Amino acid sequence: MNKYTAPSLLLMIVLVAFPQISETIYTPSLPDIAVALGTSNSSVQLTLSIYFIGFALGVFCWGWLSDFIGRRPAMLGGLIFYGIGSLMCFYADSISFLLVSRFVQAFGVATGSVITQTILRESISGNKRHSMFAQISAVIAFTPAVGPLIGGWVDQVFGFKAVFLVLVIMSILLFFYAYLKLPETTNVSTRKRVAILPVVKRIISSPQVVVFGLLIGGINGILFSYYAEAPFIFIGHFHLSPGLFGFLGIVVALASIIGAMISKKLVTIWPPEKIIHLGCCVMFVGSLILTLVSIFTILPNIVLMISILTSIFIVLLGAGIALPNCLSLALVNFQDVVGTAGAIFSLGYYLLVSFVTSGMSFLHNGSLITMPLYFLIMTITMWVLAKKHINTN
């Protein structure tokens, strides 16, 4: 990439952040949607996991296409799909149609994640790349909180249908912003169709790359499992309004922001592998505290709620420390096919995110202890994987 074609950092942040806003903006509305569509809480939670199936296929398709049609056409094409899916969500009148709509929406919105990460990976190297991923992670960590905050108040004032209308408007604005400001960042003469199977073999033959994928999928799975379960905990159990619940996302997002800032500082004195180990350890400690806290349901509601939020804060603090370094290191040996490799890699870890969030949906039973135990098992597994397969020397 040269100085005449490099997109602005602000554009990169907006394009990589809006998929998370789209994922979380309607989570405060989940109880209302379940009632309006006459379906169960578990079924409406599946609209989050189906999102990640569409997202996984989307990152694969747009990432692969971008290697031979260019980054700009792939980004604009995905945004068109995103707008169509958002409009379908607005008109959905059954849970089955909403599931299909969320799939289409996610398939399109995936372009923002994979194309932006590809641009960053191919244009920046070394510690500067680690620092850039940490910096962007710190900014976009706030976006999952922006979603529930906006969605909670829109739902409370105008109803959940208006939340999907916000996404339609957002898709239009994003398309024109990218159309006007996103330059083509690949050299036309070097574009080529990349054979997929050889890249797949290279990825799965590298234990470290596979472990990075498992960690990234696990971390994001925990984050979005929280957003799937949290409305039924804080709105259902603690009786918060959707608007007030939206504010809790700010508290939780601060954990990811602080974690990413810690990661950015540590990368100047520690190898990124060591920082990943630290993040996994913090996540495990937070999950253990969350499990212990959730057992003591005899505590006053306000004390119990604050204790749960504090524990979640610790879990996501660890996630914010580990995630940027996993993303930065994962494909350092795939610069020759970075678009296709990023597409395949993202397909794998987003399918894992879908699997993890689906697990939370199937386990949902209204108990406060279910989510903490789920997180504890997940973080123990990730900690063991990191210690066994990621060398800190």
What tokens appear for 160 in the block?
């959940």
Residue 299: per-residue pLDDT: 77
CA nearest 229: which of 148, 153, 297, 135? 148
Cα–Cα distance for residue pair 243/153, rounded to 1 Å: 5
Residue type, 275: I
Asked if 390 and 208 touch (Cβ cutoff 8 Å), the reply is yes
Helix ranges (DSSP H) in the chain: 9-24, 30-36, 41-69, 71-91, 95-123, 126-140, 143-158, 160-181, 196-204, 207-230, 242-266, 272-295, 301-329, 338-363, 370-389
Cα 272 to Cα 207: distance, rounded to the nearest angstrom: 17
CB 17 within 8 A of CB 135: no
pLDDT score for 124:
63
Could you give all domains of the chain from N- to C-terminal order, each with its CATH number? 9-184+196-389 (1.20.1250.20)
pLDDT along the chain (393 residues), means of 10: 57 82 86 90 88 88 82 92 95 94 94 81 64 67 78 88 93 92 70 77 91 94 89 89 82 84 89 94 97 85 92 94 89 77 85 90 90 97 92 71
Helix axes 41-69, 207-230, angle to 10 degrees: 140
Q: What is the pTM of this model?
A: 0.78
Cα dist. 145→17, 210, 265 in Å?
Answer: 11, 29, 24
Query: What amino acid is encoded at 283 in this protein?
Result: M
Q: How far apart are CA 360 and CA 42, in angstroms?
A: 9
Task: Give every CB contact of residue 314 below 8 A, 6+ residues apart in sequence.
Answer: 255, 282, 283, 285, 286, 289, 290
Task: Residue 174: name the closest of 1, 21, 28 by CA.
Answer: 21
Could you say which DSSP state residue 330 is in? Answer: T
- How far apart CA 390 and CA 212 sit, in angstroms, is 9
The whole-angstrom separation of Cα 207 and Cα 4 is: 38
Q: What is the rounded CA–CA span in Å between residue 21 and residue 48?
A: 12
The four Cα atoms 377, 378, 379, 385 give a dihedral, to 10 degrees, of 110
Distance of CA 227 to the CA centre of its chain: 11
The residue among 299, 156, 153, 148 whose CA lies nearest residue 227 is 148
Cα–Cα distances in angstroms (integers) from residue 142 to residues 32, 111, 131, 193, 372, in the given order? 25, 20, 18, 36, 23
